[in-house]
Structure 1
């Protein structure tokens, strides 16, 4: 490979890594707070619903993890983490759900 072609690839690799970085936790926390998610969930402990880190661990390595989590957030779910169902969250914007799901896929770091 020519050196000039290699030099052109380096910025693309850097962009690719940035695309897989977890969203900033401050941004995620703001989304969780404004949508009342923190009434039932916490990052590292079970409240009414599972800890976000437990959700992340359950879906770790699944190719369709983002799809599954998005569907559960939007449509609600039951039986995945115990007897208490999660109601649908129709008021949460698709953009906010995307940020939260990206954070979950990254392992729910804080």
Structure 2
């Protein structure tokens, strides 16, 4: 049952990322415009504040963490979707197709 729940969460997070144009700049394992989700997960893996930081970064946008190219704000995302999306990113975006 846990595997199916995890797969469902991964699919939901992927759909949130797709719907909000995250996949135009990010991919699981390669840099596009922004860093790969695997690179993000690796960079923040030992940071206890990573989820909060990433939620804020996604919500407000900005630049500087990965270079000078700014990430646009995604202010329309609610906290539940932000939490699901950031958890998925911090796991390296498993199940992205």
TM class by shorter-chain length? Answer: 0.7 to 0.9
Change (3 A) 1:50 1:30: same
Where does the alignment leave 5 or more consecutive residues of structure 1 unmatched?
Answer: 1-16
Within 5 Å, give how 1:86-105 maps onto structure 2.
Answer: 86-105=71-90
Which of 57, 80, 85 in structure 1 is aligned with 2:70? Answer: 85
**Greater RCO, 1 or 2 (C-alpha within 8 Å, sep 6+):** 2
For each residue in 1:79-101, what CA deviation from the matched residue of structure 2 results, as whole angstroms up to 9, or x when unmatched?
11121011111122221111011
Contact 2:40 2:90 in 1 (8 A): no
2:61–2:73 Cα contact (<8 Å) kept: yes
SS of the counterpart of 2:88?
helix
2-structure distance, mates of 1:90, 1:102: 18
For normalisation by structure 2, the TM-score amounts to 0.82
How many angstroms does 1:43 deviate by?
A: 1.1
Match of 1:42? Answer: 27
1:52 and 2:37 aligned: yes
Unaligned 5+ residue runs, structure 2? none
Give 4+ residue runs of structure 1 displaced > 4 Å after superposition. Answer: none
TM-score by length of 1: 0.73
